[in-house]
Amino acid sequence: TEKFNKDIRKLGTNAQNQSYLDQFRVLVTEIGNAMGYVRMVRSGGVHYISNAIKFVPDLEKTPNYEEQAVASSLSEESVTAARNVDSVLNNLMQKFAEGSDYFKILVEVFKDEMRKEQNFHLRNFYIIVPPLTLSYVDHMLASKDKLTKKNKESNFCDDGFALGLAFVLKLLDQNKQFDGLRWFESVQMHYSEEQEKVRRELAGRKRQDDETQHLQLTVNRIMSYRREFELLFFSFLSARI
Question: Using one digit for the tens of pLDDT, what is the confidence trace for 165-207?
Answer: 999 999 898 999 999 999 999 999 999 999 898 888 887 776 6
pLDDT of residue 236: 93
Report the percentage of the chain scoring pLDDT > 70.
94
The number of CA neighbours under 13 Å toward the Cβ of 104 is: 5
Ranges of H-type helices in 121-209: 125-148, 160-171, 175-181, 183-203
Give the C-alpha separation, 167 to 157, whole Å.
19
Phi, psi of 207 (to 5 degrees): -135, 155
Enumerate residues 6+ apart whose C-beta is below 8 A from 165. 28, 32, 129, 132, 133, 236, 239
The reported pTM is 0.76
